[in-house]
Amino acid sequence: MPVYKSLTDNELFVLIQDGDKCAFEEIYERFNGLLYIYACKMVPDREDARDIVQEIFVYLWSNPDIKIKSQLSAYLYTAVRYKIFDWLDKNKSRTNYLQSLESFADRGDYVTDNYIREREFASLIEKEVSLLPPKMRLIFEMSRQQHLSQKEIAEILHLSDKTVKKQMSNALKVLRLKLTSFLLLAVILMLR
Protein backbone atom coordinates (compact mmCIF):
# COMPACT_ATOMS: atom_id res chain seq x y z
CA MET A 1 0.00 0.00 0.00
CA PRO A 2 2.98 2.43 -0.32
CA VAL A 3 1.35 4.27 -3.25
CA TYR A 4 -1.47 5.42 -0.95
CA LYS A 5 0.95 6.93 1.56
CA SER A 6 2.12 9.45 -1.02
CA LEU A 7 -1.39 10.69 -1.81
CA THR A 8 -2.91 13.76 -0.17
CA ASP A 9 -5.90 13.47 2.13
CA ASN A 10 -8.22 14.91 -0.49
CA GLU A 11 -6.88 12.57 -3.20
CA LEU A 12 -7.55 9.65 -0.88
CA PHE A 13 -11.04 11.00 -0.16
CA VAL A 14 -11.86 10.95 -3.88
CA LEU A 15 -10.74 7.30 -4.00
CA ILE A 16 -12.88 6.52 -0.93
CA GLN A 17 -15.89 7.94 -2.73
CA ASP A 18 -15.18 5.42 -5.48
CA GLY A 19 -15.18 2.62 -2.89
CA ASP A 20 -11.41 2.18 -2.56
CA LYS A 21 -10.90 0.27 0.69
CA CYS A 22 -7.12 0.81 0.75
CA ALA A 23 -7.60 4.58 0.50
CA PHE A 24 -10.03 4.40 3.42
CA GLU A 25 -7.52 2.37 5.45
CA GLU A 26 -4.84 5.00 4.79
CA ILE A 27 -7.14 7.83 5.95
CA TYR A 28 -8.03 5.75 9.01
CA GLU A 29 -4.33 5.28 9.79
CA ARG A 30 -3.63 9.00 9.41
CA PHE A 31 -6.50 10.30 11.51
CA ASN A 32 -7.75 7.65 13.95
CA GLY A 33 -5.20 8.38 16.70
CA LEU A 34 -5.40 12.16 16.33
CA LEU A 35 -9.20 12.20 16.37
CA TYR A 36 -9.23 9.89 19.39
CA ILE A 37 -6.91 12.24 21.32
CA TYR A 38 -9.13 15.15 20.30
CA ALA A 39 -12.29 13.34 21.47
CA CYS A 40 -10.66 12.33 24.77
CA LYS A 41 -10.15 16.00 25.60
CA MET A 42 -13.92 16.52 25.77
CA VAL A 43 -15.30 13.07 26.60
CA PRO A 44 -14.26 11.65 29.97
CA ASP A 45 -14.90 8.01 29.08
CA ARG A 46 -12.21 6.60 26.74
CA GLU A 47 -14.54 3.96 25.26
CA ASP A 48 -17.15 6.60 24.43
CA ALA A 49 -14.43 8.71 22.78
CA ARG A 50 -13.33 5.68 20.75
CA ASP A 51 -16.95 4.94 19.74
CA ILE A 52 -17.48 8.54 18.60
CA VAL A 53 -14.41 8.41 16.35
CA GLN A 54 -15.43 5.01 14.97
CA GLU A 55 -18.89 6.34 14.11
CA ILE A 56 -17.28 9.12 12.07
CA PHE A 57 -15.22 6.62 10.08
CA VAL A 58 -18.24 4.36 9.55
CA TYR A 59 -20.20 7.36 8.27
CA LEU A 60 -17.31 8.41 5.99
CA TRP A 61 -17.12 4.93 4.47
CA SER A 62 -20.84 4.28 4.13
CA ASN A 63 -21.75 7.68 2.63
CA PRO A 64 -19.75 8.12 -0.58
CA ASP A 65 -21.81 11.17 -1.60
CA ILE A 66 -20.42 13.41 1.19
CA LYS A 67 -19.44 16.83 -0.11
CA ILE A 68 -16.45 18.44 1.60
CA LYS A 69 -15.90 22.15 1.00
CA SER A 70 -12.47 22.48 2.62
CA GLN A 71 -9.86 19.97 3.74
CA LEU A 72 -10.75 16.44 4.81
CA SER A 73 -8.99 16.96 8.16
CA ALA A 74 -11.19 19.98 8.95
CA TYR A 75 -14.27 17.97 8.04
CA LEU A 76 -13.25 15.06 10.30
CA TYR A 77 -12.48 17.27 13.32
CA THR A 78 -15.77 19.14 12.89
CA ALA A 79 -17.68 15.86 12.57
CA VAL A 80 -16.10 14.58 15.81
CA ARG A 81 -16.96 17.83 17.59
CA TYR A 82 -20.62 17.63 16.53
CA LYS A 83 -20.78 13.95 17.45
CA ILE A 84 -19.47 14.86 20.91
CA PHE A 85 -22.23 17.47 21.27
CA ASP A 86 -24.78 14.77 20.38
CA TRP A 87 -23.17 12.43 22.89
CA LEU A 88 -23.37 15.10 25.62
CA ASP A 89 -27.07 15.64 24.91
CA LYS A 90 -27.91 11.94 24.83
CA ASN A 91 -26.05 11.13 28.02
CA LYS A 92 -27.28 14.17 29.94
CA SER A 93 -23.69 14.77 30.95
CA ARG A 94 -24.07 18.46 31.55
CA THR A 95 -22.47 18.20 35.00
CA ASN A 96 -19.45 16.41 33.62
CA TYR A 97 -19.35 18.87 30.75
CA LEU A 98 -19.35 21.83 33.14
CA GLN A 99 -16.52 20.25 35.12
CA SER A 100 -14.65 19.69 31.88
CA LEU A 101 -15.30 23.28 30.87
CA GLU A 102 -13.99 24.54 34.23
CA SER A 103 -10.89 22.40 33.80
CA PHE A 104 -10.50 23.79 30.30
CA ALA A 105 -10.84 27.35 31.62
CA ASP A 106 -8.22 26.63 34.31
CA ARG A 107 -5.81 25.59 31.57
CA GLY A 108 -6.21 28.84 29.62
CA ASP A 109 -2.44 29.27 29.32
CA TYR A 110 -2.22 25.82 27.77
CA VAL A 111 -4.78 26.81 25.12
CA THR A 112 -2.88 30.03 24.45
CA ASP A 113 0.35 28.04 24.10
CA ASN A 114 -1.35 25.73 21.61
CA TYR A 115 -2.60 28.72 19.61
CA ILE A 116 0.90 30.21 19.54
CA ARG A 117 2.41 26.88 18.49
CA GLU A 118 -0.24 26.53 15.81
CA ARG A 119 0.59 29.99 14.42
CA GLU A 120 4.33 29.21 14.57
CA PHE A 121 3.74 25.95 12.72
CA ALA A 122 1.68 27.72 10.04
CA SER A 123 4.48 30.27 9.66
CA LEU A 124 7.07 27.50 9.43
CA ILE A 125 5.03 25.74 6.73
CA GLU A 126 4.76 28.98 4.75
CA LYS A 127 8.51 29.50 5.04
CA GLU A 128 9.30 25.95 3.90
CA VAL A 129 6.85 26.24 0.99
CA SER A 130 8.54 29.49 -0.08
CA LEU A 131 11.88 27.61 -0.20
CA LEU A 132 10.59 24.99 -2.65
CA PRO A 133 11.83 25.25 -6.25
CA PRO A 134 9.62 27.76 -8.15
CA LYS A 135 7.74 25.27 -10.35
CA MET A 136 7.16 22.87 -7.44
CA ARG A 137 6.03 25.74 -5.21
CA LEU A 138 3.59 27.02 -7.84
CA ILE A 139 2.03 23.57 -8.28
CA PHE A 140 1.84 23.04 -4.52
CA GLU A 141 0.19 26.43 -3.92
CA MET A 142 -2.30 25.91 -6.75
CA SER A 143 -3.29 22.60 -5.16
CA ARG A 144 -3.39 23.72 -1.53
CA GLN A 145 -4.47 27.35 -1.70
CA GLN A 146 -6.60 27.42 -4.83
CA HIS A 147 -7.86 23.84 -4.29
CA LEU A 148 -7.28 22.89 -7.90
CA SER A 149 -7.12 19.26 -8.95
CA GLN A 150 -3.99 17.83 -10.55
CA LYS A 151 -5.77 17.74 -13.88
CA GLU A 152 -6.75 21.42 -13.61
CA ILE A 153 -3.20 22.40 -12.69
CA ALA A 154 -1.81 20.38 -15.60
CA GLU A 155 -4.17 22.14 -18.04
CA ILE A 156 -3.38 25.64 -16.71
CA LEU A 157 0.41 25.10 -16.71
CA HIS A 158 0.43 23.02 -19.92
CA LEU A 159 2.03 20.06 -18.18
CA SER A 160 1.19 16.38 -18.07
CA ASP A 161 -0.88 15.02 -15.19
CA LYS A 162 2.07 12.79 -14.35
CA THR A 163 4.43 15.77 -14.02
CA VAL A 164 2.01 17.58 -11.70
CA LYS A 165 1.53 14.46 -9.61
CA LYS A 166 5.31 13.95 -9.34
CA GLN A 167 5.89 17.59 -8.37
CA MET A 168 3.17 17.38 -5.68
CA SER A 169 4.64 14.15 -4.37
CA ASN A 170 8.13 15.67 -4.24
CA ALA A 171 6.84 18.82 -2.49
CA LEU A 172 5.07 16.73 0.14
CA LYS A 173 8.19 14.62 0.70
CA VAL A 174 10.34 17.72 1.18
CA LEU A 175 7.85 19.31 3.56
CA ARG A 176 7.36 16.10 5.54
CA LEU A 177 11.10 15.74 6.02
CA LYS A 178 11.54 19.32 7.17
CA LEU A 179 8.43 19.48 9.37
CA THR A 180 8.51 16.05 11.04
CA SER A 181 10.79 17.08 13.91
CA PHE A 182 8.68 20.17 14.62
CA LEU A 183 5.52 18.04 14.64
CA LEU A 184 7.03 15.49 17.00
CA LEU A 185 8.00 18.24 19.41
CA ALA A 186 4.51 19.79 19.19
CA VAL A 187 2.82 16.43 19.88
CA ILE A 188 5.09 15.77 22.86
CA LEU A 189 4.30 19.20 24.28
CA MET A 190 0.58 18.68 23.64
CA LEU A 191 0.54 15.39 25.53
CA ARG A 192 2.18 16.84 28.64
**Per residue in 78-122, pLDDT tens?**
899 888 888 877 766 455 556 666 666 555 545 555 666 667 767
pTM, two decimal places: 0.48
pLDDT in tens, 25-57: 999 998 898 899 888 888 888 999 999 999 999
The three-point CA angle 49-47-20 to 5° equals: 65
Query: Exposure string (b/e) for 150-168, b if CB count within 10 Å is 16 or more?
Result: beebbeeeebeeeebbebb
Residue 192 has a pLDDT of: 53
Domain with CATH 1.10.10.10 in the chain: 107-192
Residue 163 has a pLDDT of: 92
Domain with CATH 1.10.1740.10 in the chain: 1-104
From residue 101, alpha-carbon distances to 22, 92, 104, 177 in Å are 38, 15, 5, 37
Task: Provide the CATH number for the domain formed by 107-192 in this structure.
Answer: 1.10.10.10
pLDDT in tens, 176-188: 777 776 666 656 6
The Cβ-side half-sphere exposure at 174, using a 13 Å CA radius, reads 17
* Sequence letter at residue 89: D
Residue 1 has a pLDDT of: 46
Which of the four CATH numbers 1.20.1250.20, 2.30.110.10, 1.10.101.10, 1.10.1740.10 does domain 1-104 have? 1.10.1740.10
Which of 51-60, 122-131, 143-152 shows the lowest per-residue confidence on average (mean pLDDT)? 122-131
Mean pLDDT across the chain? 80
117, 186 in Cβ contact below 8 A?
yes
Rounded Cα distance between 119 and 186, Å, is: 12
* Sequence letter at residue 126: E
